Amino acid sequence: MKSQLRVFIVATTLCPGILLCLSLMRPPGPAWATSSGVLTFENADIGTVAKQIGRLTGTTFLFDPDQVKGRITLLAPKPVSPAEALELLKSALALHGYTLVRRAEGTWIVPAERMAHEAVRITVVPLTYARADELAYTLSMITPPWVRIVPYYATNSLIISGHPATVEELVDIIK
């Protein structure tokens, strides 16, 4: 009787634990596949990279192959989140003169100069702890070519002009 009671206690304790472990060990399905990924694209076609980033992020990318051409390199040795992957793609495209535009039908990859005519924002950012010329030089290395950053020495300020979203991101970086 005592041994039967022990078997019963062990079975009722272990069975739920084993079932829980088995349910957690299922193969990763589509919902798990999009949680993060390692990006290794060396000199890859923009369309190929966009397709893979689209799978990772669940984003539909659209572009005109006659206007969007070229090869880019994205290397992230550690897994990145879908949001980080999208930011990496955005940065790599900006280096080659392209930008991402969100529309109802999906995210378009378009030449940056095409977007330069749509909306422009000009912001003056006063600086307290940095010199305008040094910060303008440093930020110019990471900004897309269609964004202008000009130091205004009289007030130690930066005058930033470009697409509103990009200008807002730069202001956030400065603050």
User: How does the average pLDDT of the chain come out, rounded?
Assistant: 79
> In CATH, what number does 34-114 get?
3.30.1370.120
Each domain of the chain, given as residue ranges in start order, spans: 34-114, 119-174
In whole angstroms, what is the distance from residue 55 CA to residue 32 CA? 12
> In CATH, what number does 119-174 get?
3.30.1370.120
Fold agreement between 34-114 and 119-174: yes
Q: Which pLDDT score is estimated for 135?
A: 94
Q: Which pLDDT score is estimated for 11?
A: 47
Residue-wise pLDDT for 71-83, tens only, equals 998 888 888 888 8
Task: Judge whether residue 121 has pLDDT over 80.
Answer: yes
Task: Judge whether residue 23 has pLDDT over 60.
Answer: no
Q: Which pLDDT score is estimated for 28?
A: 39
pTM: 0.50
Residue-wise pLDDT for 65-120, tens only, equals 888 899 998 888 888 888 888 988 998 998 888 888 888 778 889 887 765 556 77
